[in-house]
Structure 1
Amino acid sequence: MTRSAIIFHGTGGSPDVAWYPWLDGRLTARGYRVERPSFPRINVDPIAEFLPGVLAVHDFDADTVLVGHSGGAALLLALIEHLETPVAQSILVAGYATRVNDSEEPVLQEFYDWDRIRANAGDLYFINSVTDPYGCDASQGRLMFDHLGGTQIVRDEGHFGDYDQRYDTFELVDRLIP
């Protein structure tokens, strides 16, 4: 079977910014079939309405790697919980599981089935920064780690890419994916 990777951008983002195209190129060169979908309504529409459309347009199996950044990482929690089959690996960059600032967060579920997420997530990584300007920080990574296990990586690198933070490559994420 062909290995695949799906890279989910964050709130207000697009698949063509930050390190997403670079990671796509790196994984493609290693034989992955990579998808970088555009979801402009991520964290705009309530997750219960948004998630079925995401599940319907992608295939997920034991050879799938999921990478999500910010709102895309928060999306992964709900996505993984509702998968029919486990994936190989899930990497949540600047992810969060609770409201982190004054913004509405329709991408979040009120409750999570942590056991089901753990069962479906595969090799699980949380990459957060102590200096995240939005609150998607190391404490959010720790909250998810406490519920799910996996590996928590704490850096001091802002939001890992933003409108005012160039982050064109992300060697760490590339190294985590076999």
Structure 2
Amino acid sequence: MKIIFIHGNGGCTADMNWYASADQRLRENGFNVIRETLPDNDIAHENIWIPYIRDTLGADQNSILIGHSSGAIAALRYAEEYPIKGSTLVSPYHTHLNLEDEKAGGWFDRPWNWRRISANQDWIIQFSSVDDPWIPIEEAQYIHAKLDTEYFEFTDRGHFLQTDIDDFPELITALIEKSV
């Protein structure tokens, strides 16, 4: 099974945070992992990222998308249009949060089709934290309510910017359980 990491915007790269350690642990458990820095990683325009995820990274009905922050938004919008196996959303949100960069990306220019997002995948795992300095927990709870995600809410993970290999074992465990 193929897993595709989708990092956040604001200049984030595929080598930041917990991505490399999760990549390593997922490979050790037999997953085919794609972890690349996407183009346009400052603003993360939808019209650039969605075709890149589809055409360059090869997301398809057998793929799992792991999206962090605006990468979670990309995973949601991707699943709105294309079938995938499942997704893992880390620090997702559903509004532009009144931030200019989020508005500029184009992700929030139309309503969400929650039914299609759900129908186009077998499952959705979600990780959010009450103490996230950028994403109000109500944003995450709204997505959980709309999509009936497998929901993990923490009180002490902030925006999930950990870098150590053991900092995000819940994500690894949840993905392994889904692949059985």
Figure out how many residues of one structure are paired with residues of the other and give that number: 169
CA distance in structure 2 between the partners assigned to 1:45 and 1:15 by the alignment: 13
CA distance in structure 2 between the partners assigned to 1:76 and 1:107 by the alignment: 14
Partner of 1:58: 57
Partner SS, residue 87 of structure 2:
strand
Q: Alpha-carbon deviation of 1:152?
A: 1.9
CA distance in structure 1 between the partners assigned to 2:114 and 2:138 by the alignment: 17
Q: CA RMSD of the aligned region, Å?
A: 1.8
Q: Alpha-carbon deviation of 1:18?
A: 1.1
Q: Alpha-carbon deviation of 1:131?
A: 0.8
Q: Percent identity?
A: 28
The Cα offsets for residues 41-99 of structure 1, whole Å up to 9 and x where unpaired, read as: 1461531344223221132344322111111111111111121xx32221100111112
Partner of 1:9: 7
Distance change in 2, residues 1:176/1:122 (3 Å)? same
Partner of 2:175: 177
Moved more, 65-74 or 106-115: 106-115
Partner of 1:158: 158
Stretches of structure 1 that go unaligned for 5 or more consecutive residues are none
Distance change in 2, residues 1:78/1:167 (3 Å)? same
CA distance in structure 1 between the partners assigned to 2:106 and 2:173 by the alignment: 28
Moved more, 142-151 or 52-61: 52-61
2:115 aligned with 1:115? yes
Distance change in 2, residues 1:82/1:21 (3 Å)? same
Stretches of structure 2 that go unaligned for 5 or more consecutive residues are none
CA distance in structure 2 between the partners assigned to 1:65 and 1:48 by the alignment: 21
2:137 aligned with 1:138? yes
Distance change in 2, residues 1:45/1:22 (3 Å)? closer
